Amino acid sequence: MRELKEKILKEGRVLSDTVLKVDSFLNHQVDPQFALKMGKELAGRFAGAGVTKVLTVEASGIAVALTTGLVLNVPVIFAKKKKAFTQEPGSYYSNIFSFTKREMVGIYVNKKFITRADRVLIVDDFLAQGEALRGMVGIIEQAGATLVGVGVVIEKVFQGGGKALREKGVRIEALAPVASLAGGKVKFINGLN
């Protein structure tokens, strides 16, 4: 998505070879019109796939998940976070490692919101090591629902988080796939196109 890539080049800050900060329009301050554009783009890529629910995890995935759900006209579920290893009754549950917080975090979804009949699209702001994604896939599997695909705003492809799922044939769409942040420069896969 060219407009997103241009926005990343203009407003993003590369803090290290693995950290890209885009808090001016995605992670802390959100540009609602632009969030709607990204939602339209993601919804368009999964149009006709029969999505019945969008799943994200709190907090920074909510904006784009919401606009994607708005365009697809389906409910949006945000998995909640809590301290790890404490079971939440009546919920599907995964433990994931938070690289940002350097600790295990539990994420859960109430069982009544995902059923076997659901076709779930996972939406998130970032795909890096893929821990949050792995946790959400685990929740969908526990529910016996179908994973339709994954839509993310920024994928740091070099961190490999999407690899295992792609090898299983899951479709992952990234609006801005980043090949490298080396030397303080954002390099996109396939350039700006």
Can you give the binding site for a second copy, defined by CB under 8 A? 23-24, 28-33, 35-36, 58-60, 62-63, 66-67, 69-70, 73-78, 80, 109-110, 112-113
Long-range contacts of residues 44-49, Cβ cutoff 8 Å, at least 24 apart = 44/71, 45/151, 45/173, 46/72, 46/121, 46/148, 46/149, 46/151, 46/173, 47/72, 49/119, 49/121, 49/148, 49/149
Closer residue to a second copy in complex, CB, 44/160: 44
Closer residue to a second copy in complex, CB, 11/179: 11
Whether 154 and 127 have beta carbons less than 8 Å apart is answered as yes
CB of 59 to a second copy, least distance (A): 4
Cβ neighbours, 10 Å, residue 3: 14
Q: What is residue 191's three-state secondary structure?
A: coil
CB of 190 to a second copy, least distance (A): 30
CB of 90 to a second copy, least distance (A): 11
Closer residue to a second copy in complex, CB, 54/147: 54
Closer residue to a second copy in complex, CB, 60/137: 60
Q: Residue 110 and residue 11: Cα distance in Å, rounded?
A: 37
CB of 161 to a second copy, least distance (A): 22
